[in-house]
Copies of this chain bind each other. A is one copy, B any other.
Amino acid sequence: MIRTAIIGYGNLGKGAEAAVAAAPDMELTAVFTRRNPEALQVQTPCVPVYAYAELAKKAKDIDVVILCGGSATDLPEMTPEVAKLCTVVDSFDTHAHIPQHFTAVDAAAKAGGNIAVISTGWDPGLFSIARLYANIALPSGTDYTFWGRGVSQGHSDAIRRIPGVKDARQYTVPVKEAVDRVRNGENPVLTTRDKHTRECWVVAEEGADLEAIRQAIVTMPNYFDEYDTTVNFISEEELLRDHAGLPHGGSVIRSGVTGWDGEYQDTVEFSLKLDSNPFFTGSVMTACARAAYRLKEKGETGCRTLFDIPPALLSDRSPEDLMAHLL
């Protein structure tokens, strides 16, 4: 059994916990938190909860850590810190900063004699893998990524920071006409506005200026100003009743050509439709934790991404089983 620990017990940590419980070759041995460990009740029976500061002391009894922190501030610091102590996987998803994160984590993992697999999950993660295979099959072509319909936590948080907002949920919605044009092989040039719309469900505080909130949302730089955004005000009851879930998904589409003069038009598409983003992400991370453990067992050290990992290493099934049933 692969002795697995989880750091961070938010939605993602809970998703990873369920996935580890379902894995026949893994067991959850500890949860680490930066909150008060005694206030935290985990689902798996008999699993101790420790303060994050205890990790160094417990590291020798852990084969791999699933690090369930956020990309904005937690992971840039924590993944290198953990990689010095244990083999670790994270879901660092700030695409532009992945190369520098890789460099920092690689140095730490090598120093600690561990493996670290970064940027796992679905984007980056399975979507990256889909982009890579589509690119090797169709070197001449164009990549498109559409996200949604799904809840963006970052955008929901940004709305919550606006004065007068009590709670909010933001859905990223792909524009159907744009997706259809890409699927039809039209190779359209699409602006940010052409590809996605943003749909906001907002609970305002009593007496708040709704029009001011609406303006603050739709003009917010980076988050909303380049999109067509709709803002709907609802009651707290409605938000809890209709928008409690964290669904997500999307499509990676590559449209390209083969043949001597590009005479053949091909389309490769990978898509996800997820009821729960954190539970799916936790499941992918758990498979990556298995692969990380196996790479470490082979004596390898340093940072990896899914691009570096033979797919069979991610599965608990034997090579013979995979060849007979999935190949």
Contacts and interface: CB of A to CB of B under 8 A. Distances in A.
- Size band of the A side of the interface? 35 or more
Contacts of A183: 273
Contact of A23 (B139, B258, B271): B139
Copies of this chain per assembly: 2
A10 to B, nearest CB: 16
B43 A260 contact: yes
A272 B283 contact: no
A14 B232 CA distance: 57
B312 A308 contact: yes
B307 A270 contact: no
A82 to B, nearest CB: 20
A136 B275 contact: no
Contact of A137 (B99, B258, B275, B283): B283
A326 B135 contact: yes
A140 B18 CA distance: 12
A143 B122 CA distance: 19
Interface string A172-195: 000000000001010000000000
A276 B259 contact: yes
B276 A305 contact: no
A322 B307 contact: yes
A319 interface: yes
B270 A130 contact: yes
Nearest to A137: B284
Contact of A310 (B263, B275, B310, B324): B310
Contacts of A272: 266-269
A198 to B, nearest CB: 23
B129 A133 contact: yes
Nearest to A290: B136
A302 to B, nearest CB: 12
6 contacts: A99-B320, A102-B323, A138-B280, A139-B316, A266-B272, A269-B272
Interface of A: 15, 18-19, 21-23, 43, 95, 98-99, 102, 119, 122, 124, 126, 128-133, 135-140, 143, 183, 185, 258-260, 263-276, 279-280, 282-284, 287, 305-312, 314-317, 319-320, 322-324, 326-327
